[in-house]
């Protein structure tokens, strides 16, 4: 990233601007704006999240917000109610209160003498979600949004469930928020920090069991899901996603369905802003953001509405790398989406090889296959530890968080391999898998991975998809399978932009386990597959069609490393018990902010245990420690969470402890049991 120090406008910063809401709750905002904004008002750009502007997102904030402000905007980074330096309490994610507060903040910003009256809203992840959700509510002053790594459907395409499958990260995210929201305001900004902190700790919710208890797409999940009524999305949207992230589907959904002007860009990135994200190439996200704001907040006729509808970085075949710094590829620019350059190619799952068919697995591996060239039968009963090389739901960086070589998991799966490709094969869009399947158990799921298999046998995951079989007919009204009854099921595999090289094979790998990405079924069931088809989105082929601006940002934050961090990620097998574990230790070290003197540190560990033969052996243990200090003042919080399951219930425990100096001032334990109705 190129650091920019000279801007068209000199910028002044306010570290704690108070925004008092109608109920008296004061939100704290960090604001950058041109120094003459009071006499030459400018549009405001809001980022509104719970991740603490004073320390949590400060490193990225200082790269982004002064840069945008230096080009003639007031950029406003607000701590949500109950977080960071803002007053109040937070009860859950994307609540009615949260979105009502957002609308009030937008109204307040538009009324300020330094604001032109036009407001934009942007954010990544939580902020990407709530800027779409706020646009759905249509506050009058909101004129455009930029949403990065977000979703349109909180049940089908978020961290809790996917295809109706309960994700392991539902528990993990509950542990994260138990820790993140446990920290106090900065005493330098809040004289009442201690009283406010104790109120926060007392009200701190343990959300993982609440989310796990809602195993169907009910009103809770529909709230905040903009797909419920795309017609309400009337403000222009610029949507960004990353192929190494698990929110890659949103960009296509918005471009295809939103009636307002909307553009989408998907790169090779993890769950980060595109000007700093890996794998490269990084791009000039901030320049593209300014182009969007100039068009819709300032009314500059720069042609942004005529940009390609959908720009995607088409990844090229390379060796697998869970810590890839760069992915080879090229940019595809589609004037319209869906694209006329994409055609659907259906490959039948069947016995014999040949054009238009993915042959059934090798019978020498124990799968049955008729020799008449048509009928086949596959038994799917994969070991519980399959999936250890899947990577994180939203990888953040280079610590082996992306999918690694899939060959080991492929060896445990049922694989349908295509012929060796005589020419490159370009895929752009979402594949769809249809199966004729029966189950010997009422609860179960199936996972499909599309992989790129090189001549040396290494396997790169292109995309994956999954279906909880209870949701085969309805996400709103799931029903257990009737053992032995064959049904036809169909589900989407995630969007992709990928070029398989000539000499490689396309592989469809199926499993009914996927640990720890998906929490296992209560019984190690067996699925019987007797037919199916894979519907592929084949692109006609292209050369590079877009050259994005280079990555730029403002001066990084001034800090001193007190103690360097270290991350390890291992897969361990106990040779005595046979238990397999994914062990992650992430120590982010400690640093001092040289601007205001706050010292911060964070340490995390994740343990994911399972025995290959026993789904009820699944156990997750997560710990988080947060540290804040300045001079003689020091506080610390420690969150410990554990999830196990019986045949009938999901068991989730957690403990939250807080220290002031060396003294424990708060501790609370949670112990919840959630009935397993459909998971």
C-alpha to C-alpha distance for 169 and 523, rounded to whole angstroms: 21
Bridge partners of 288, per DSSP, are: none
pLDDT of residue 364: 42
Which tens digits make up the pLDDT trace of 509-518?
Answer: 999 999 999 9
Q: Is the pLDDT of residue 441 over 80?
A: yes
Q: Is the pLDDT of residue 370 over 60?
A: no
Which tens digits make up the pLDDT trace of 569-601?
Answer: 999 999 999 999 999 999 999 999 999 999 999
Question: All domains of the chain, ordered by start, with CATH?
Answer: 11-164+215-334 (3.40.50.1820), 342-539 (2.60.120.260)
Q: Is the pLDDT of residue 369 over 60?
A: no
- 421 phi/psi in degrees, rounded to 5: -75, 130
Contacts of 368 (CB under 8 A, 6+ apart): 376, 377, 378, 379
**Helix 58-69 vs helix 285-296: crossing angle, to nearest 10:** 50
pTM confidence score: 0.96
In the predicted model, what is the mean pLDDT of residues 25-53? 98
Q: How confident is the model at residue 362 (pLDDT cuts 50, 70, 90)?
A: low
C-alpha to C-alpha distance for 17 and 20, rounded to whole angstroms: 10
Beta-carbon-side half-sphere exposure of residue 641 (alpha carbons within 13 Å): 29
pLDDT of residue 237: 98
Question: Which of 320, 213, 88, 93 has the alpha carbon at shortest distance from 649?
Answer: 213
CA 418 vs CA 19, 184, 318, 349, 355: distances in Å:
59, 56, 18, 10, 9
Bridge partners of 619, per DSSP, are: 609
**In the 8-state DSSP scheme, what is residue 25?**
P
pLDDT of residue 371: 36
Cβ count near 70 (within 10 Å): 22
Q: Is the pLDDT of residue 373 over 70?
A: no
Question: CB of 370 within 8 A of CB of 351?
Answer: yes
Q: Is the pLDDT of residue 223 over 60?
A: yes
């Amino acid at each position: 990233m190129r650091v920019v120090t000279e801007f068209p406008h000199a910028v002044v910063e306010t570290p704690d601007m108070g925004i008092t809401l109608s109920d008296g709750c004061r939100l704290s905002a960090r604001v950058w704006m041109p120094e003459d904004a009071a006499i030459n008002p400018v549009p405001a750009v809001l980022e509104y999240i719970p991740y603490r502007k004073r320390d949590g997102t400060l490193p990225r904030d200082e790269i982004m917000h002064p840069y945008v402000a230096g080009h003639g905007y007031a950029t406003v980074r607000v701590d949500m109610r109950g977080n960071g330096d803002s007053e109040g309490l937070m009860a859950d994610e994307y609540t009615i209160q949260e979105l009502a507060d957002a609308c009030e903040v937008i109204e307040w910003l538009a009324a300020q003498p330094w604001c032109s009256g036009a407001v934009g809203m942007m954010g990544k992840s939580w902020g990407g979600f709530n800027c779409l959700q706020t646009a759905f509510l249509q506050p009058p002053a909101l004129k455009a949004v930029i949403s990065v790594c977000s979703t349109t459907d909180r049940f089908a395409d978020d961290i809790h469930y996917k295809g109706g499958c309960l994700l392991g990260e539902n528990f993990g995210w509950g542990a994260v928020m138990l820790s993140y929201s446990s920290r106090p305001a900065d005493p330098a900004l809040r004289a009442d920090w201690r009283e406010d902190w104790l109120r926060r700790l007392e009200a701190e919710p343990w959300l993982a069991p609440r989310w796990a208890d809602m195993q169907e797409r009910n009103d809770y999940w529909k709230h905040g899901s903009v797909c419920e009524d795309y017609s309400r999305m009337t403000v222009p949207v610029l949507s960004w996603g990353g192929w190494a992230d698990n929110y890659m589907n949103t960009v296509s959904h918005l471009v295809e369905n939103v009636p307002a002007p909307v553009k989408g860009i998907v790169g090779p990135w993890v769950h980060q802003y595109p000007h700093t994200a890996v794998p490269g190439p990084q791009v000039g996200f901030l320049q593209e953001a300014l182009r969007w704001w100039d068009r819709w907040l300032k009314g500059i006729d720069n042609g942004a509405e005529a940009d390609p509808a959908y720009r995607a970085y088409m990844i090229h075949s390379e060796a697998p790398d869970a810590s890839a710094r760069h992915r080879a590829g090229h940019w595809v620019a589609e004037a319209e989406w869906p694209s006329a350059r994409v055609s659907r190619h259906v490959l039948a799952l069947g016995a014999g090889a040949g054009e238009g068919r993915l042959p059934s697995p090798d019978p020498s591996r124990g799968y049955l296959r008729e020799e008449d060239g048509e009928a086949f039968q596959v038994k799917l009963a994969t070991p519980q530890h399959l999936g250890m090389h899947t990577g994180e739901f939203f990888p953040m960086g280079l610590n082996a968080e992306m999918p690694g070589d899939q060959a080991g998991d492929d060896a445990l799966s049922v694989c349908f391999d295509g012929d060796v490709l005589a020419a490159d094969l370009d895929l752009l869009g979402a594949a769809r898998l249809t199966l004729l399947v029966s189950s010997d158990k009422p609860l179960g799921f199936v996972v499909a991975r599309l992989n790129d298999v090189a001549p040396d046998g290494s396997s790169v995951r292109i995309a994956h998809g999954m279906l909880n079989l209870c949701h085969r007919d309805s996400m709103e009204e799931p029903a257990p399978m009737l053992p032995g009854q064959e049904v036809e099921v169909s589900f989407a595999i995630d969007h992709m932009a990928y070029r398989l090289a000539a000499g490689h094979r396309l592989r469809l790998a199926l499993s009914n386990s996927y640990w720890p990405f998906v929490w296992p079924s209560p019984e190690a069931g067996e699925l019987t597959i007797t037919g199916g088809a894979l519907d592929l989105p084949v692109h006609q082929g292209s050369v590079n069609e877009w050259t994005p601006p280079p990555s730029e940002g403002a001066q990084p934050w001034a800090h001193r490393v007190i103690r360097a961090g270290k991350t390890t990620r291992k897969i361990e097998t106990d040779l005595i018990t046979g238990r397999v574990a994914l062990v992650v230790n992430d120590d982010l070290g400690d640093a001092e902010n040289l601007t205001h003197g706050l010292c911060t540190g964070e340490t995390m560990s994740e343990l994911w245990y399972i025995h290959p033969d026993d789904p009820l052996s699944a156990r997750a243990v997560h710990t988080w420690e947060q540290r804040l200090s300045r001079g003689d003042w020091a506080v610390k919080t420690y969150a410990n969470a554990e999830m196990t399951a019986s045949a009938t219930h999901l068991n989730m425990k957690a403990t939250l402890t807080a220290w002031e100096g060396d003294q424990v001032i708060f501790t609370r334990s949670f112990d919840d049991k959630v009935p397993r109705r459909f998971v």
